[in-house]
Chains A and B, each alone.
Chain A
Amino acid sequence: MNKKDKQDKLGMEIKDIMEEETFDLTLSQKAFDNIIKHRKKSRNEKIREFLNRDIEIPLAPAIVGLAALFAITLIPGNVFKSQNEEIINMGNSQVIIREDFEVSQK
């Protein structure tokens, strides 16, 4: 095959027919958008996307969690301690009398 085949009658007719068949074909907007959606993202975009992403938190566990956090941080530690105790000072010693027994942390 040489260059003149492209210019012979059959070759030119083939080219013309192919051009006629396709001249009005264009990529649809949907396809264009779909391609763009799959493009590789830059580092800045990845960071921005990470910071802007929506997080869905179920309401019930969130309330329970917040209540627990509130209880741990705001309620004083000794609020549930028994107030029913009596301290007797004996010189350098103290005698503590109470109804319940406190277990040592050690």
Chain B
Amino acid sequence: MTAEKLLIKNLKRGREEAYRQLIEEYGNRLLRTCCLILKDREEAEDVVQETFIKVFNKIDTFKEKSGLYTWIYSIALNLSRDRMRLKQDMLELKDEWIGNDDVESQVEINIDRELLRKEIFEMNSLYKEVLVLYYYEGLSIKEISYLLNEKEGTIKSKLFRGRNILKEGLLKGGQK
């Protein structure tokens, strides 16, 4: 039996050490990702707490079709999205990306780090969420598509637009 399967089994049995192990393994990672998406440490911590409590309550219904962390992650992202919707920090994106990403990658720019930092944290969560999952978490388009329950084309589109927003911001030198 793999370590993850054993952990799931012990979680289902209600063993305290399994719960502690789960939080120690994934808690900080989840907190960091949620913090990047929500821009607020306290809110991110609330989401992490809610996520784990939900995981504990629903662990018996977990069918192991995906990895444990993927499942936990999808719960956390849904909770984060609910919060962003409340703050109206998510725009609707109707169309899907059909462009050529080579055009974007050909643009050469000088990167002002502080300006880029500012642009990332001021950016709409709709795009930032995908950038965080892609660059920070190192997930593939396919994995992000599965996690967010969106088409791969939509994810590509968000990523492309997100990068363009950052590039435009850098080219304008922070002037909107």
Are the C-beta atoms of B28 and A25 separated by less than 8 Å? yes
Asked if B9 is an interface residue, CB under 8 A from chain A, the answer is no
Are the C-beta atoms of B111 and A27 separated by less than 8 Å? no
Contacts A39-B14, A42-B14 given; does A27 touch B113 at CB 8 Å: no
A13 and B110 alpha carbons, distance in the complex (Å): 11
Are the C-beta atoms of A17 and B120 separated by less than 8 Å? yes
Question: In the complex, which of the residues B13, B111, B135 contacts A6, with contact meaning CB atoms closer than 8 Å?
Answer: B135
- CB neighbours (8 Å) of A40 from chain B are 11, 14, 56-57, 59
Asked if B83 is an interface residue, CB under 8 A from chain A, the answer is no
- CB neighbours (8 Å) of B135 from chain A are 6, 11, 14-15, 18
Contacts A18-B135, A22-B36 given; does A32 touch B27 at CB 8 Å: yes
Are the C-beta atoms of A5 and B36 separated by less than 8 Å? no
Interface residues on B, range: 35 or more
Asked if A92 is an interface residue, CB under 8 A from chain B, the answer is no
Within 8 A of A (CB), among B7-36: 11, 13-16, 19-20, 23, 27-28, 31-32, 35-36
Are the C-beta atoms of A26 and B28 separated by less than 8 Å? yes
Asked if B45 is an interface residue, CB under 8 A from chain A, the answer is yes
Are the C-beta atoms of B116 and A27 separated by less than 8 Å? no
Are the C-beta atoms of B52 and A35 separated by less than 8 Å? yes
- Chain A residues with a Cβ closer than 8 Å to the other chain, count: 33
Within 8 A of B (CB), among A1-58: 1-2, 4-6, 8-11, 13-15, 17-19, 21-22, 25-28, 31-32, 34-36, 38-43, 45
A46 nearest CB neighbor, chain B only: B14
Are the C-beta atoms of B14 and A41 separated by less than 8 Å? yes
Are the C-beta atoms of B23 and A32 separated by less than 8 Å? yes
A12 nearest CB neighbor, chain B only: B135
Are the C-beta atoms of A1 and B159 separated by less than 8 Å? yes
Are the C-beta atoms of B45 and A28 separated by less than 8 Å? yes
A22 and B49 alpha carbons, distance in the complex (Å): 18
Asked if B172 is an interface residue, CB under 8 A from chain A, the answer is no
Are the C-beta atoms of B23 and A19 separated by less than 8 Å? no
Are the C-beta atoms of B48 and A36 separated by less than 8 Å? no
- CB neighbours (8 Å) of A17 from chain B are 113, 116-117, 120
- CB neighbours (8 Å) of A9 from chain B are 111
Other contacts beyond A18-B132, A32-B27: 16, CB < 8 A: A6-B134, A10-B167, A13-B116, A15-B135, A17-B117, A17-B120, A18-B136, A21-B35, A21-B36, A21-B117, A25-B41, A27-B45, A32-B23, A34-B49, A36-B19, A40-B56
